[in-house]
Chain A
Amino acid sequence: MAKVHVQTQINGEPVDFLCEPQQSLLEVLREELSRTGTKEGCGTGDCGACSVLLDGRLVCACLVLGVEATGKNVTTIEGIAPEEGLHPIQQQFLEHAALQCGICTPGLIVATKALLDKNPNPTEKEIRYWLAGNLCRCTGYDKIIRAVQASAAELSHPA
């Protein structure tokens, strides 16, 4: 089958790529564009390791086709940090030791950003239900929740 020419924006930069019509956005990001920060844990939308933002909306990149990125803005973990230093969410994940193996971390940070963009002051329960689509097997989520709470506090009351 002929490949499709897709024009999109990834992390604010214009990107052109060719993909098979059946290729997922996750495959395109990882295999065609070398954006390997977005991880594959299941390929069936159950683990959230491939969380990205599509025009600001949180999606599993494994459940989106590459061609669906046409004309959209894709935000991946590589696009979270500002030009200098780290995003407050990234910094809080580090300071709270909210990661062990780190494979779920990109997805969790992207999902946290989507949450805090929408709801700057979430309750613990709101955080737990919002992040319920992002599996972490190492931490028991304790330090992740604390990092998200600290991120929310920092973002709504910057030092």
Chain B
Amino acid sequence: MAETAPDTSFTNQDFKIIGTRPPRPDGVDKVTGRAKYGADAFAAGQLTALILRSPHAHAKILSIDTKRAEKLKGVKAVVTCEDLPDLTGGNRGMLDILENCMARGRALYDGHAVAAVAAIDAETAKKALKLIKVKYEVLPHVTDVDEAMKKKAPIIQPHIRTTGVDPKPKKASNVAARSQFGHGDIEAGFAAADVIVEESYKTEQTHQGYIEPHACLASVGPDGQGELWVTTQGHFVFRNTCAALLGMEVAKLKVTSSEIGGGFGGKTHVWMEPVALALSRKANRPVKLTMSREEVFRASGPTSSTSIDIKIGATRDGRICAASAELRYQGGAFPGIWGMLGAMTTWACYDLENCQSVAFDVLVNRPKSAAYRAPSAPMAAFAVESTIDLVAAKLGMDPVDFRILNAAKEGTRASYGPTYGPIGIGPTLEAVKNHPHMKAPLGPNQGRGMACGFWFNFGGQTCTDINVGVDGTVSLTVGTMDVGGSRASLSLIAAEELGIPYERVKCNVADTASLGHNDMTEGSRGTFSSGMATIFAARDVVKVLRNRAAAMWEIDVDDVAWEDGQAVAKGIAHSNLSPLSLADIARKSPTTGGPIAGHNETVADGAGVSFASHICDVEVDPETGATKVIRYTVVQDAGKAIHPDYVEGQFQGAAAQGIGWALNEEYIYGEDGRLQNPGFLDYRIPVCSDLPFIDTEILEIPNPGHPYGVRGVGETSIVPPLAAIGNAVSNAAGVRLNHVPMSPPRILKAINAAK
């Protein structure tokens, strides 16, 4: 642990069970196969749906003939964009979602949906797809971010005019947006520099790689009411989006989130659910739609590929005096915010007088880019943290000491605007410096690297219910679906507040008909925001419990305190009254006023920013260029770890995804603009034998914006690995890789070029 003593005064609590590691409430279902995921639901009379997808990267759709498919025995509905009219009323963002679900006159990437069928079984649906005749006029395409910015590049969305430039352009461009962040005087900063390092970097496109493909079961009746069972990170948002796109009333579409088989941001986007609902409406039958793995790769969720230029200037005493970046992020065929997010995170780890980041969001003929765990931050961090190591080397400084000297701290004006409160970058760096890993000896062909990462974290709209059963058990109802153990953490919080054992709480994720709106489980907000709402809902319950105790005792409620999970009568006058437990009060509830419940609805402001520093040892085979990660350590600030097992799990999982991104994973497009590796065989995510144990160190620098000091923990640790591995590879093989993934051919090429 770092020496920094965290200020916990605002929490004003000695935790009793927060920080323990009980088994998760959904665990038994998940180890026995009982848990129901997206593809595990069935409805009487359900049809099987399949989607026909464009084989072209860019094409005009001249005609779609569905007549033969419709006539095939067993086919109950065929839909095209004709069945999904534009009801968005000029909301271009919503129209983009609709157009991505089903092409409207043009196919914008290999895998873009053009039609869909629902049939009595999968075999019939497959035959029907083959009977749909689509006439395409193939157009020139572009899949590389730098190529797409060139003047002669084919224009993907003719209505797009670059935003964020003055004057507003008159001509269409693949650059959807320019954004800029920073402060100070960059030129003056570089003029004062003793050393300047300038480098350019590229990162390839990766996929979240959740093991569960997208799946849903949709049912729309002739009365216009509907139900949707779906694997999603945000069923309330899916409800609102699907209802708007289909012209349904929000309250009449009930969406239930299944157990989710991984999302990492990729299941925050609506990819196909409106199509399932449209098929169900047309067929008047329930419709099940699942993506194959190939469809997942071709038509959902990858993160941006990028191209980034970095320039850092420093003075001889080791202070960074100027830092600038230009970042180009591709968003697939639709505009996104990925470049902007990259630019906001670029310099967030450092305390800089003069800094600037300029980002371009660029369209290419690839699937719509989606959020992927701390979206856009890992690429910027790869570029920055690689360059930081180069600057430190040029100054003859230890890279950790150089970072410590320049790290952001409380009161630092962040490059993206706000001024930081208490933050963890300094403590994570100190912890790295003092970690035994940093002192362990290295063998031949081995090298060590480290890097830092930042993520904002998010709060957002949240709504939570607590209902007390007559036997004194507590039902906690939340609307943020559970991606990795949050039901355990939230149960701990409810038990802590109410002073009852963890085992007496059961946490459930409600469907959209049973609770107020909740934003997505994204931005590492699940435990932060639902935890906050749980605390306030539990305090609401305590108010009711005190009232009921007062009624049972026939004394004034002001004379009833709630201490250690029981009602206590205050004052000498009531010393004859024995304390009443939650169970005592619950048992009497039918005659003291009925059900005991608490509720909270909030916009959970105050998400605390999060920092991580990682250490990595690699061994590079000089003959093949293959890299093996031999030791890995994650240090991250959690604010307060509610359930440390699942905090460690987030750190380890994020690091593993980052390792895959750094070394292996990439979308490979052919000259024809088609994705060449849409499967787990050729898009290789880390397997068990690729990785070592991943050590973790949880720091707790409390977030003043949360009653327990919690910060989101899910995302930050995917940010440092690309650069940590790049720095380690550089130290192991003596070559610097500016192109991710650092696959064996790229490393071998660099080694041979250096000879």
Q: Is B188 an interface residue (CB 8 A)?
A: no
Q: Is B422 an interface residue (CB 8 A)?
A: no
Given A37-B33, A37-B34, A44-B680, decide whether A137 and B694 contact each other with a Cβ distance below 8 A. no
Q: Is B333 an interface residue (CB 8 A)?
A: no
Question: What string of 1s and 0s marks CB contacts (under 8 Å) between A94-106 and chain B?
Answer: 1111011111111
Given A101-B210, A101-B483, decide whether A42 and B34 contact each other with a Cβ distance below 8 A. no
- Contact partner of A46 among B33, B42, B681, CB < 8 A? B681
Question: What string of 1s and 0s marks CB contacts (under 8 Å) between A119-157 and chain B?
Answer: 000000101110111111111111111000000000000
A38 and B33 contact, CB distance less than 8 A: yes
Q: Is B24 an interface residue (CB 8 A)?
A: yes
Q: Is B31 an interface residue (CB 8 A)?
A: yes
Q: Is A8 an interface residue (CB 8 A)?
A: no
Interface pick from B362-370, B612-620, B652-660: B652-660
**How far, in angstroms, from A113 to B533 measured CA to CA in the complex?**
41
A142 and B261 contact, CB distance less than 8 A: no
Give the chain A neighbours of B680 by CB distance below 8 A. Answer: 41-42, 44, 46-47, 135
A100 and B649 contact, CB distance less than 8 A: yes
**How far, in angstroms, from A95 to B488 measured CA to CA in the complex?**
13
Give the residue name and chain of the A residue nearest to B35 (CB).
A102
**How far, in angstroms, from A106 to B42 measured CA to CA in the complex?**
20
Please count how many residues in chain B sit with their CB below 8 Å of the partner chain's CB atoms.
Answer: 57
The dominant DSSP class at the A interface is loop
**How far, in angstroms, from A103 to B400 measured CA to CA in the complex?**
39
Give the chain A neighbours of B26 by CB distance below 8 A. Answer: 102
Mark out the residues of chain B between 639 and 663 whose CB falls within 8 Å of any chain A CB in the assembled complex: 645-646, 648-649, 652-653, 655-657
Q: Is A67 an interface residue (CB 8 A)?
A: no
Give the chain A neighbours of B209 by CB distance below 8 A. Answer: 137
B261 and A128 contact, CB distance less than 8 A: no
B212 and A41 contact, CB distance less than 8 A: yes
Give the chain B neighbours of A20 by CB distance below 8 A. Answer: 123
- Contact partner of B646 among A27, A30, A97, A140, CB < 8 A? A97
Q: Is A49 an interface residue (CB 8 A)?
A: yes
User: How many A-B contacts if CB must be within 8 Å?
Assistant: 178
**How far, in angstroms, from A37 to B260 measured CA to CA in the complex?**
14
Taking the nearest CB of chain A, how far is it from the CB of B38, in angstroms? 9
**How far, in angstroms, from A140 to B209 measured CA to CA in the complex?**
13
Taking the nearest CB of chain A, how far is it from the CB of B692, in angstroms? 9
B213 and A81 contact, CB distance less than 8 A: no
Measured as residues with beta carbon below 8 angstroms from the partner, the interface class of chain A is: 35 or more
Taking the nearest CB of chain A, how far is it from the CB of B538, in angstroms? 24
A103 and B649 contact, CB distance less than 8 A: no
A42 and B679 contact, CB distance less than 8 A: yes
A93 and B691 contact, CB distance less than 8 A: no
Q: Is A80 an interface residue (CB 8 A)?
A: yes
B688 and A127 contact, CB distance less than 8 A: yes
- Contact partner of A76 among B27, B33, B485, CB < 8 A? B33
User: Which of B32, B262, B686 has most A Cβ within 10 Å?
Assistant: B32
Given A42-B679, A128-B688, decide whether A103 and B40 contact each other with a Cβ distance below 8 A. no
Give the chain A neighbours of B123 by CB distance below 8 A. Answer: 20
Give the chain B neighbours of A86 by CB distance below 8 A. Answer: 28, 31-32
Q: Is B389 an interface residue (CB 8 A)?
A: no
Give the chain A neighbours of B292 by CB distance below 8 A. Answer: 43
Give the residue name and chain of the A residue nearest to B483 (CB).
A101
Taking the nearest CB of chain A, how far is it from the CB of B443, in angstroms? 17
- Contact partner of B693 among A27, A35, A76, A145, CB < 8 A? A145
User: Would you list the 3 A-B pairs with minimal beta carbon distance, nearest first?
Assistant: A37-B33, A103-B261, A140-B656
22 interchain pairs, CB-CB under 8 A: A30-B40, A36-B36, A39-B211, A40-B213, A41-B680, A46-B293, A81-B32, A97-B24, A99-B27, A100-B646, A102-B259, A105-B31, A127-B688, A128-B689, A132-B687, A134-B688, A137-B211, A140-B653, A140-B655, A141-B656, A143-B649, A143-B652
Additional A-B contacts beyond A41-B213, A93-B27 (18; CB < 8 A): A20-B123, A36-B33, A40-B39, A77-B32, A81-B32, A90-B32, A94-B23, A100-B483, A101-B263, A102-B30, A103-B37, A104-B211, A132-B687, A135-B685, A135-B687, A140-B686, A141-B691, A144-B688
Interface residues of A (CB under 8 A from B): 20, 27, 30, 34-44, 46-47, 49, 76-78, 80-81, 86, 90, 93-97, 99-106, 109, 125, 127-129, 131-145
